[in-house]
Chains A and B, each alone.
Chain A
């Protein structure tokens, strides 16, 4: 880095200041959420700009009530990510490499899936789920949530895998590796960034799902946090402090993942599509 003159350094810290300002504007609603959560007694209308004293009762209540639902959400989302990657990674490779007839149609099909409103899907799925005994099961919800990420992951990973040099794969084939081995040992490791990125997106889609959780369950056995929040936004009254605290809690696991995966995302998202 060449810029070490005082002027350049000042300019760089100026960028930091601007960045903080942008962040402040973008995160203000979240600050307001946290702020409300810390003033559970105030109702939502008399929230002070800064919490006077840290009242954590909203949090302890939310944690006590929603801890189990958070766990459910985690389990379902990780399951959905596993299914999503297991289905979409081979497909992405197949579409990128094999030049199968109909590849183009399939890619177009993944695009079409993005057009169907979620409510239409949830409605249609319900009856099939009943027939298959998947209602009220973790696995059923994982499958449905995985569907949210699959088309996106296929598109993302395919564009990445197209850019893997053919020589690498051919070299492995010469060594006697079959297509499955090539895929597992060569392609997947090289696609790490796009795998992580797809996984993260799949996780986020699944984490925020409300429609499937609502539609495909008829008992409270499998109740993720998005449904759990309804405990506070009832038909009769709203406990806003607890709602906000639960939302903050619900954002934490996803935020941790996001920060951990951050450095892979930039590299994983576009991969080959630019080249």
Chain B
């Protein structure tokens, strides 16, 4: 480019007008935004619920339930869904700007952190009753003895198996670790693995490890105990047998479900939230059973999963009361049953659970497993996340070559130094 050619000079006039207009447009926008910004106020009849129901179906079910409860209470209830991993940080950020929603649905393992920071209102003080809820599930929604979170439904893990594959091989459903190991090995064939589970480097993997750890008598406060080492050695054995894919360390629970549905696994460890997807494949005949235990007759202890509805402390007691009523409605027996039937999870309320069992007898095993399931945060509360990270690193190291003992010793050190 040397000098301004005449053509460019001619065009320059038109262009400069364009640039001037865009400048003007921007300044108008700025002014407009400033005005609307000031006008933003909380609408007194609109209540917001923040949850992680980004899935289309869950979002719709929640929206329907909220519409019903809103109508009943004469308010409008709006839903805002964010990716599950973002609920906590988003809520904290909103707390600092004093713009918390009226209701937050936390994953139960995260609730203690928010409660510990003083961010939640005692639900009993808002008039929520806990008479019909089993003690275990009240504890599930409690932190240091205070009931902060109302669960609508709970879930746990179970053994899903492909009925056709088991029938064809003529093997019974495994109930002990030895049986599971033998069956899995037997069913491994060609592209198909005997078993699929998630040992991914996130909460998914830890969730799946807990039934093995707990059923064997291990405990999250003592990660390098022989009981936990045995459980991890058992996972290693499954992998060495070739019954588990080497990709296990990279799978989430959704990946595990994809593998099972594609016929790449004869059995899987997974939860009831997958049923909706499983049922889309008509040619797949699956059933569920309790997760096998180390010795015949031992208790199968699974992790209790699910989300709880909480009322964050906003300082506006009137709104908090109404929010409490909305939570009560969403967690009422009727709504719980509707939600549970939609999502295939087990209602938290005893009466609703009984009705649910009648309606979905095929998930009976799951209901039994829930009754015996254990909460991840019961012992550690807000300290769970640190232990969970240490444990992830440990089972991933062990499954990729390290000895279980060394890996877990390091995890225990990391967990205690982090606290």
B302, chain A: closest CB distance, angstroms:
18
Q: What B residues does A238 contact at CB under 8 A?
A: 254, 258
* Residues 1-54 (chain B) with a chain A CB within 8 angstroms: 1-4, 8-9, 11-13, 15-16, 19-20, 22-23, 25-26, 29-30, 32-34, 36-40, 48, 50, 52-54
Interface residue A52 (Cβ < 8 Å from any Cβ of B) = no
Question: Is A214 a contact partner of B86 (Cβ separation < 8 A)?
Answer: yes
Distance (whole angstroms) from the CB of A122 to the closest CB of chain B: 9
Q: Nearest chain A CB to B51's CB is how many angstroms away?
A: 9
Decide if A235 touches B83 in the complex (CB within 8 Å): yes
Cβ of B22 and Cβ of A237 under 8 Å apart? no
A163 located at the interface, meaning its Cβ lies under 8 Å from any Cβ of chain B in the complex: yes
CB contacts (< 8 Å) of B56 on chain A: these are 65, 231-232, 234, 239
State which of A42-50, A109-117, A148-156, A256-264 sits at the interface with chain B. Answer: A42-50
Please state if B259 and A45 are interface contacts (CB–CB under 8 Å): yes
B90 — which chain A residues lie within 8 A by C-beta? 215, 218
Q: How large is the interface on A (under 10, 10 to 19, 20 to 34, 35 or more residues)?
A: 35 or more
Query: Nearest-CB distance from A8 to chain B (Å)?
Result: 32
Q: Indicate if the CB atoms of A86 and B58 lie closer than 8 Å.
A: no
* Residues of B with C-beta under 8 A to A131: 97
In residues 166-196 of chain A, which contact B (Cβ within 8 Å)?
167-168, 181, 184-186, 188-190, 192
Report if A134 contacts B (CB, 8 A).
yes
Render A131-165 as a binary contact track against B, CB cut-off 8 A, 1 for contact: 11111110110100000000000000000000111
Known contacts A44-B258, A164-B1, A168-B3; A79 and B29 CB within 8 A of each other: yes
Query: What string of 1s and 0s marks CB contacts (under 8 Å) between B283-307 and chain A?
Result: 0000000000000000000000000
Residue contact B97 to A127, C-beta cutoff 8 Å:
yes
Query: What residues of A have a CB within 8 angstroms of the CB of B55 in the complex?
Result: 231, 234-237
B93: contacting residue among A167, A215, A231, A235, CB under 8 A: A215
Expressed in whole angstroms, the Cα–Cα distance for A188 and B264 within the complex equals 60
Whether A185 contacts B16 by the Cβ 8 Å rule is: yes
The stretch among B159-167, B272-280, B378-386 that forms the contact with chain A is B272-280
Contact A167 B3 (CB under 8 A): yes
Interface of A is mostly: helix
Considering the chains assembled together, what is the distance between the CA atoms of A224 and B25 in angstroms? 22
Max chain A C-beta neighbours (<10 A), residue from B39, B80, B101, B254: B254
Q: Report the separation of the CA atoms of residues A219 and B90 in the bound assembly, to the nearest whole angstrom.
A: 12
User: Are A134 and B37 CB-contacts (below 8 A) given A45-B264, A184-B16, A237-B273?
Assistant: yes
In the complex, are the beta carbons of A165 and B2 less than 8 A apart?
yes
- A188-B15 contact, Cβ under 8 Å, with A139-B29, A234-B54, A236-B55: yes
Judge whether A205 is part of the interface by a CB distance below 8 angstroms: no
Residues of A within 8 A of B129 (CB): none
- B261 close to chain A: CB less than 8 A: yes
- The minimal Cβ–Cβ distance linking B93 to chain A, given in whole angstroms, is 5
B251 to chain A, nearest CB (A): 12
Cβ-closest chain B residue relative to A271: B1
A186 and B12 contact, CB distance less than 8 A: yes
Cβ of B52: which chain A residues have Cβ within 8 Å of it? 235
Encode contact with B along A71-114: 1 for CB under 8 Å, 0 otherwise: 00000000100110110000000000000000000000000000
Per-position binary interface string of chain A over residues 225-259, scored 1 when its CB falls under 8 Å from any chain B CB and 0 otherwise = 00000111111111100000000000000000000
Asked if residues A137 and B33 are in contact (CB atoms below 8 Å), the reply is yes
- Find chain A residues with CB under 8 A from B38 CB: 133
- A236 and B16 in contact, given A44-B258, A139-B32 (Cβ under 8 angstroms): no
Is the Cβ of A236 less than 8 Å from the Cβ of B58? yes
Q: CA of A83 to CA of B25 in the docked complex: distance in angstroms? A: 10
Min C-beta distance of A241 to chain B, whole Å: 11
Give min CB distance, A153 to chain B, whole Å. Answer: 14
Residues in B whose Cβ lies below 8 Å from that of A85: 22
Which single residue of chain A is at the shortest CB-CB distance from B59? A231
Among B1, B86, B262, contact of A43 (Cβ-Cβ < 8 Å):
B262
B274 pairs with A237, CB closer than 8 A: yes
A192 to B8, CA, bound (A): 10
> In whole angstroms, how far apart are the Cα atoms of A239 and B36 in the complex?
38
Q: Is the CB of B54 within 8 A of A43?
A: no
Proximity bits, B47-71, A CB within 8 Å = 1, else 0: 0101011111011000000000000
Chain A, residue nearest B86 (CB): A214
> Which chain B residue shows the least CB distance to A89?
B19
Question: Is B82 interfacial (CB 8 A cutoff)?
Answer: yes
| Chain A residues with CB under 8 A of B53 | 234-235
CA distance A185 to B19 in the complex (A): 9
Interface contact B1-A163, CB-CB below 8 Å:
yes
Is the pair A86, B37 in contact by a Cβ cutoff of 8 Å? Answer: no
The answer to whether residues A130 and B99 also contact, given A43-B258, A44-B258, A139-B29 and a CB cut-off of 8 A, is yes
Select one of A142, A190, A220 contacting B8, CB under 8 A. A190
Answer yes or no: A16 CB below 8 A from chain B CBs.
no
- What is the CB-to-nearest-CB distance from A6 to chain B, in angstroms, rounded to a whole number? 39
Contact between B26 and A82 (Cβ–Cβ < 8 Å)?
Answer: yes
CB atoms of A123 and B254 under 8 A apart: no
* Contact across chains for A190 and B258 when beta carbons are under 8 A apart: no
Q: Is the CB of A82 within 8 A of B25?
A: yes
Residues of chain A lying within 8 A (CB to CB) of residue B94: 218
Measured CA separation A189–B18 after assembly (Å): 11
Asked if B96 lies at the interface with its beta carbon under 8 angstroms from chain A, I say yes
Residues of A within 8 A of B2 (CB): 165
Please, how many angstroms separate the alpha-carbon atoms of A84 and B30 in the complex?
14
Is the beta-carbon distance between B20 and A184 smaller than 8 angstroms? yes
Instruction: Identify the closest chain A residue to B3 (Cβ).
Output: A168
List the B side residues contacting A32 at CB < 8 Å: none
In Å, the complex CA distance between A114 and B8 comes to: 34
Question: B84 near A: Cβ within 8 Å?
Answer: yes
In the bound assembly, the distance between CA atoms of A135 and B98 in angstroms comes to: 13
Q: Would B3 and A140 count as touching, CB distance under 8 A?
A: no
Q: How far is the CA of A181 from the CA of B32 in the complex (A)?
A: 27
Instruction: Pull 27 A–B residue pairs with CB atoms less than 8 Å apart, ordered by A.
Output: A45-B259, A65-B56, A126-B97, A127-B93, A130-B97, A130-B98, A130-B99, A132-B34, A133-B37, A133-B38, A137-B37, A163-B1, A164-B1, A165-B1, A165-B2, A184-B15, A184-B20, A188-B16, A190-B4, A214-B82, A218-B90, A218-B94, A235-B52, A235-B58, A236-B254, A236-B274, A236-B276
* A interface list, Cβ under 8 A from B: 43-46, 65, 79, 82-83, 85-86, 123, 126-127, 130-137, 139-140, 142, 163-165, 167-168, 181, 184-186, 188-190, 192, 214-215, 218-220, 230-239
